[in-house]
A and B are shown apart, each in its own frame.
Chain A
Amino acid sequence: DAGVTQSPTHLIKTRGQQVTLRCSPKSGHDTVSWYQQALGQGPQFIFQYYEEEERQRGNFPDRFSGHQFPNYSSELNVNALLLGDSALYLCASSSRLGNTEAFFGQGTRLTVV
């Protein structure tokens, strides 16, 4: 079992550009959540997807959007990048069946210059 895989691992973008981050959940999991972690801070919840729809959203602007595919994998898109979007973006997968743990990927380190 490969666990949660995220790609790419590192990314450098310019202000104003758009970026797409990808996540493959752990086998057997149907729910994907995305988190943003600024340096020295705890992860902040962005949104969660299951059954290919956004189910819950944190306090993030509409520039942050996502998608979930039929195979449960997910994408996080960020438009009009700002310097403040520089962070570690984490994907977590879980199952809606029972109060089970979430498994996190290693994250994508995004640097906006």
Chain B
Amino acid sequence: DAKTTQPNSMESNEEEPVHLPCNHSTISGTDYIHWYRQLPSQGPEYVIHGLTSNVNNRMASLAIAEDRKSSTLILHRATLRDAAVYYCILRGWGSSNTGKLIFGQGTTLQVKP
């Protein structure tokens, strides 16, 4: 299973943008980059995913490096509700894919008022 590397923790001020990095140097051509977050006392929640191109949705943006060996999750204006553990996950797709998610330690994001 392809591995991702994230910083253990990051801090942000409320209403400022946050850039959460992820390295995945062993990514394969069929791996999608998924981001999930887990708020305290809740199950993980899907944030965004992409393959090659940058992606935007109502929650965040995902910037993917041209060589796909790294990506950055961007929260445009952090709120206190965004304080969570953020997981960057590679999810393969193809005949062998059953959609399992391999979680690492994730990045704990603290948002200061």
Contact = CB atoms under 8 A, between A and B. Distances in A.
Interface string B67-107: 00000000000000000010100010100011111111110
Interface residues of A, number: 26
A90 interface: yes
Nearest to A99: B93
A34 to B, nearest CB: 10
A54 to B, nearest CB: 10
Q: What is the predominant secondary structure among interface residues of chain B facing chain A?
A: loop
B98 A101 contact: no
Contact of B103 (A31, A43, A99, A106): A43
Contacts of B100: 33, 45, 48, 56, 58
B102 A101 contact: no
A50 B99 CA distance: 11
Interface of A: 4, 31, 33, 35, 41-45, 48, 50, 55-56, 58, 90, 92, 94, 96, 99, 101-107
Interface of B: 32, 34, 42-46, 49, 85, 87, 91, 93, 97-106
